[in-house]
Amino acid sequence: MIEPVTGSSTAVLDAPATTPPGVGWASGPLGEVQAADRELARQTARRYRAIAVFAATRPASADRAQGEHGAMAAERWAARPEVLRPVSEWTTQELSIALNVSAQRAEDELERSLTLTRRLPLALDALETGVIHPGHLWCLLEHVAPIADDAVRTRVQRELLDWLAVRHRVTTPAQLGDRVRRVVARHDARDAARDLARALRQRGVSVRPERTAGMSAVTVICSTPEAQAFVRALSAYVDALETDPADPRSRGQQTVDALLDLVLRPGEADLPPVQALLTLVASVPTMLGGDGPGEVDGQVVPAEMARQLARAFTGLPPTDPDPSTEPDIQKGSGGLPPQWSAGGEPVDTEGGPVDRAAAELSAEDFDRWLDDLVRQAFGEDPVMPPDPDDHPGAMVEGSGTAPPPLTGGSAPQPDDVASRPGGEWWAAADRAVEDASEALLVLDRALSSARRMVGTAERADAADEAVWATSPAGRVSAAGDALTALTVAADRDRASLADLLGRTAGGGLADRPRIALTDAVTGALIALTDLPALRRTGTCGRPACRRRPEHCDHDLTGRPGLGPPADSPGYRPEAALDRFTRARDRRCRFPGCRRRVPAHGDLDHVHRWPDGPTSAANLAGLCTTDHRGKHQAPGWTHRLGPDATLTVTTPSGLTAVTEPPPY
């Protein structure tokens, strides 16, 4: 419960020690809002913990077991989230009554509470102390909680929360979500790649009704590069239309009309061809085969997508995986491929020998190969436990009769009770004990087989990791910087990268590839250059001199180095300066805003021109709304530091600082 705030804005009853806001505590009513928001976060965390404690008092052991008459349907049970399986299915109904919500809403709350307490405990602690607020949880639940490895998941949580703790900046849920995707892609690259592969199979178009009768929303699910190109192309079509001051349509309405004309009336609409400009950013290690993610217009994409997209942009053919890490697809002796060891351990576990064997062998040969594989891995076929659905009294499908009695005798019928002597009852009891012993033996064998199978999978995964770590891609991923990555990369990858950077046209390139030189510690952009400029910087510059600048005795005054471009003489930045500033800022620099900077404007002179120069030290990317606010809103001040740090002070005295997003 939030108590009335009097005097200090932090005077909330029974509030624990909390982390102050990154912009500090405001005075007056705005400070009361901040204090109330912290108390809401604390109470939300307490609520999640209380729901988890309540769930612990309702174990699933009280429910009917799977296969038992009246139990939850097998399909529903299999579809249940893993964190809910130890909890009674009736917990949801009890919670829905207590919270006065639907059963589905109660189940969502229960799943979220158990996920936070069991898989994201550090994030829940951060919520309770005010480091994050409830809006920050969605990206952690969506991207961090599914990480299977407990150690990796904990490491990702700690890195994200440490980043927030030292950041002292406005951090919106979208900004945290962007950081989460980058950290997860770096720490859990393989699972991220598998998730992307699964998501690509779910691409599609769907339609759903809007709240207003007669209106609907169309949703397109596709890859990030396709989506960015799609939106950019639509915007370009709208820009190409002749402007009519009397046209009452908004830009959004014009965009929808252009889309409908292109799809429904492709031959009738008089729309000129347009070109969509996308910006791809990928590090040198990523281009050499490493696991670091790339960017498409500021959106994180997996490493392999960045590599293939770069080659597509430059007109180069897509690359195949490193042949040194790809096993041969051949059948070994006895139908067992050579990728499997004598102990039946696969070299790779997904998309590997089993999938290839299924694709190359006939159904009969595949079954025989699989039988040989199981025998080599686990010995003779283990006796498996009976299907839980095949309980006594179940009807045999298609026969309409009861199943045969269990070995060792069945339960006596009621009309036999009076006719059987006592000795026969003891014999029946002995047989029942023997049957139970056999069942336990079967279960023990099945568990032993399962343990061997898990051990085999773990050893195979470890072997796969070891092979990958010694491969060129593994060495590149482990490299600490771009120069080390170039040193350990395979020759073919270095040649491919040089070919790509040397391109000046062809394919889908709108401009020559640029090389972004960044600070290895902060990720800040230092220079945006290309191969010819790098070569020129590495020599004296005199026509006949090829000595390196540090060993040359010529006068090198004014020799350009690697840094921001020179100032532009007029109001509009020249091409190199415009390109550098947009590559440095990428999105609106106003605190908390993530809108993209428009393609042909809105590089703001922090000190109004001509009092301030047109230079990288005086230009900041702003969206149209925040650009207007910077010039029109009273009482705001903006300062741009030498390192492009933008400091914004509000009329109420709060100070927020933003840096260019790191590479």
Of residues 51, 22, 21, the one with CA closest to residue 38: 21
pLDDT the model gives residue 6:
36
pLDDT the model gives residue 391:
43
**Beta strands at 619-621 and 637-640: parallel, antiparallel or unpaired:** unpaired
Looking at the predicted structure, is the pLDDT value of residue 138 above 60? yes
Mean pLDDT over the full length of the chain: 75
Structure tokens at 55: 């769930």
pLDDT the model gives residue 560:
62
pLDDT the model gives residue 274:
61
Please answer whether residues 184 and 156 qualify as being in contact, where contact means their C-beta atoms are separated by less than 8 angstroms.
yes
Tell me the per-residue pLDDT of 503-519, one tens digit each, with 9 for 90 and over.
655 555 666 778 888 88
pLDDT the model gives residue 112:
93
Length of the chain: 663
- Segment among 117-131, 165-179, 350-364, 533-547 with least mean pLDDT: 350-364
pTM of whole model > 0.85?
A: no
pLDDT the model gives residue 186:
81
**Distance of alpha carbon 378 from the chain centroid:** 37
619: β partners: 605
Q: Is 6 exposed, middle or buried (0-12, 13-18, 19+ CB in 10 A)?
A: exposed
- Segment among 55-64, 221-230, 387-396, 624-633 with least mean pLDDT: 387-396
pLDDT the model gives residue 10:
37
pLDDT the model gives residue 74:
73
* CA quadruple 306, 312, 314, 320: dihedral, nearest 10: 80
- Segment among 158-172, 200-214, 400-414 with least mean pLDDT: 400-414
Rounded Cα distance between 656 and 648, Å, is 5
189-210 mean pLDDT: 80
What letters, b where the CB count within 10 A reaches 16 and e where it falls short, cover 490-514?
Answer: beebbebbeebbebeeeeeeeeebb
Q: Read out DSSP for 74-103?
A: HHHHHHS-GGGTTB-TTHHHHHHHHHTS-H
Tell me the per-residue pLDDT of 66-91, one tens digit each, with 9 for 90 and over.
777 767 777 777 778 888 888 888 78
pLDDT the model gives residue 418:
47
- Most confidently modeled range among 150-154, 312-316, 327-331, 436-440: 150-154
Rounded Cα distance between 235 and 572, Å, is 23
pLDDT the model gives residue 127:
92
pLDDT the model gives residue 332:
40
Rounded Cα distance between 374 and 359, Å, is 19
Q: Give the DSSP H or E segment for 208.
A: strand 204-209
pLDDT the model gives residue 410:
46
Of residues 335, 339, 385, the one with CA closest to residue 361: 335
Q: Where are the alpha helices (DSSP H) in 506-563?
A: 531-537
487-502 mean pLDDT: 70
pLDDT the model gives residue 130:
87
pLDDT the model gives residue 43:
93
pLDDT the model gives residue 124:
93
pLDDT the model gives residue 597:
80
204-227 mean pLDDT: 85
235-260 mean pLDDT: 85
**Distance of alpha carbon 285 from the chain centroid:** 20
Q: Is the dihedral of CA 284, 285, 290, 294 positive or negative?
A: negative
- Segment among 7-16, 452-461, 577-586, 641-650 with least mean pLDDT: 7-16
* CA quadruple 95, 99, 101, 104: dihedral, nearest 10: -30
The residue among 584 and 469 whose pLDDT is bigger is 584
**Distance of alpha carbon 369 from the chain centroid:** 37
Three-state SS at 442 = helix
Rounded Cα distance between 309 and 508, Å, is 10
Count of Cβ atoms closer than 10 Å to residue 613 Cβ: 15
Q: Which residue has the tokens 């900004």?
A: 175
- Segment among 315-324, 451-460, 633-642 with least mean pLDDT: 315-324
Looking at the predicted structure, is the pLDDT value of residue 4 above 60? no
Q: Is the peptide bond before 610 cis (omega within 30 degrees of 0)?
A: yes
Tell me the per-residue pLDDT of 423-478, one tens digit each, with 9 for 90 and over.
677 777 777 777 777 777 777 777 777 888 888 877 777 777 777 777 777 777 77
Rounded Cα distance between 517 and 527, Å, is 5
Tell me the per-residue pLDDT of 348-366, one tens digit each, with 9 for 90 and over.
444 455 555 656 666 666 6
- How would residue 3 be classed by pLDDT, with cut points 50, 70 and 90? very low
pLDDT the model gives residue 468:
73
The three-state DSSP-derived secondary structure of 493-520 is HHHHHHHHHCCCCCCCCCCCCCEEEECC
- How would residue 123 be classed by pLDDT, with cut points 50, 70 and 90? very high
All residues at 6 or more sequence positions from 545 whose CB lies less than 8 Å from its CB, including other chains: 539, 552, 554
**Distance of alpha carbon 152 from the chain centroid:** 14
Looking at the predicted structure, is the pLDDT value of residue 111 above 90? yes
Parse the chain into domains and list their residue ranges: 333-390+407-470, 514-560, 575-658
Q: Give the DSSP H or E segment for 605.
A: strand 603-605
Rounded Cα distance between 305 and 223, Å, is 9
Q: Read out DSSP for 212-281?
A: STT-EEEEEE--HHHHHHHHHHHHHHHHHSPP-TT----HHHHHHHHHHHHHH-TTT-----------EE
pLDDT the model gives residue 371:
61
614: β partners: 568
Looking at the predicted structure, is the pLDDT value of residue 411 above 60? no
- How would residue 273 be classed by pLDDT, with cut points 50, 70 and 90? low
pLDDT the model gives residue 269:
64
Structure tokens at 95: 């919670």
- Most confidently modeled range among 115-124, 243-252, 518-527: 115-124
- Segment among 9-13, 169-173, 306-310, 365-369 with least mean pLDDT: 9-13
Tell me the per-residue pLDDT of 456-470, one tens digit each, with 9 for 90 and over.
877 777 777 777 777
Looking at the predicted structure, is the pLDDT value of residue 30 above 80? yes
- How would residue 49 be classed by pLDDT, with cut points 50, 70 and 90? very high
- Most confidently modeled range among 277-281, 323-327, 465-469, 614-618: 614-618
Rounded Cα distance between 108 and 156, Å, is 24
Looking at the predicted structure, is the pLDDT value of residue 393 above 50? no
Rounded Cα distance between 63 and 377, Å, is 36
The residue among 351 and 573 whose pLDDT is bigger is 573
Q: Which residue has the tokens 């606010």?
A: 629
CA dist 523 → 41, 465, 594, 633 (Å): 32, 29, 19, 32
Rounded Cα distance between 516 and 649, Å, is 31
Amino acid occupying residue 299: Q
